[in-house]
Amino acid sequence: MQPLWQLYAGHFARPGADPAGPPEAVLRAARELVDYRKLRVEPGRVAFAGRGMAVTLNGIAQGYVTDRVSERLRAEGMTDVLVDLGEIRALGHHPSGRPWSVGLADPLVDGRNAGTLEIADRAVATSGGYGTPFDPAGRFTHLFDPATGGCAREWLAVTVLAPDATTADALSTALSVAPEARAAVLLDRFPGTAARLTRRDGSVLALRA
């Protein structure tokens, strides 16, 4: 997805940038550089099949690192810990014996919580374009639809609960570009997960698998 990130970031960094976004021809060229099937991961190296391709780990790396740190802490005997490295994983319970409390940012009002989740031995990840807008109006963000090269517009925010942070992180990113009917089908493929999807009008769709 990195070619799309570079395209949008570069476009809106220029003075007098077209508020409608990059030209279609340029967008089409960048989209042709996005294809996971052309990414080769081998022992000792990562390679691309095409010149100009690039990769970002933004959609899963924070969850993966959160899991690795959590596993190291557990291996050292720490059974009740809340790990927050961009995504959140709860080991055990709060020292008081209750579940850990995780606040959810309101995507419509900066600095306000939209709710609270109570979790124990679970992970939480949230994806929302409001976190990294490229343009002043916030219409173009860092969440991209690989099928079109455009920015995700289906949901304001997606929060996923899962047994581990890697799964939660990956699903919150994937669901961000999934229409409502497809979101439920995708979540059903991952046992023990649930999602909270905020529509653009502020209403919420809760999905449990």
Q: Cα–chain-centroid distance for residue 204?
A: 17
Q: How far, CA to CA in Å, does 199 sit from each of 9, 136, 178, 187, 194?
A: 25, 21, 12, 17, 16
Written as one string, the DSSP assignment of 168-192 is HHHHHHHHTTS-HHHHHHHHHTSTT
pLDDT averaged over every residue in the chain = 93
Q: 104 and 126 in contact (C-beta within 8 Å)?
A: yes
What's the farthest any 2 CA atoms get from each other in the chain? Answer: 58
Instruction: Name the nearest CA neighbour of 110 among 128, 86, 87.
Output: 128
**Please, are residues 128 and 109 in contact by the beta-carbon 8 Å criterion?**
no
**Domains in the chain, start-ordered, CATH in brackets?**
2-48 (no CATH), 61-208 (3.10.520.10)
Model pLDDT for residues 60-77, shown as the tens digit of each residue: 999 999 999 999 999 999
pLDDT of residue 58: 82
At residue 156's C-alpha, the angle toward residues 150 and 159, to 5°, is: 110
pTM of the model: 0.89
Q: Are 65 and 50 in contact (CB under 8 A)?
A: no
- Cβ–Cβ under 8 Å, residues 152 and 110: no
171: its two tokens: 């699903």
What's the pLDDT score for residue 209? 58
Residue 164 — pLDDT band, cuts 50, 70, 90?
A: very high
Rounded Cα distance, 18 and 14, in Å = 9
Residue 36 per-residue DSSP state = G
Task: Give the tens place of pLDDT for each residue, 180-197.
Answer: 989 999 999 999 999 999
pLDDT digits (tens, 9 = 90+) for 94-130: 999 999 999 999 988 888 888 999 999 999 999 998 8
* Termini Cα distance of the chain: 28
Instruction: Give the C-alpha distances (Å, rounded to integers) separating 36 from 40, 82, 165.
Output: 8, 33, 22
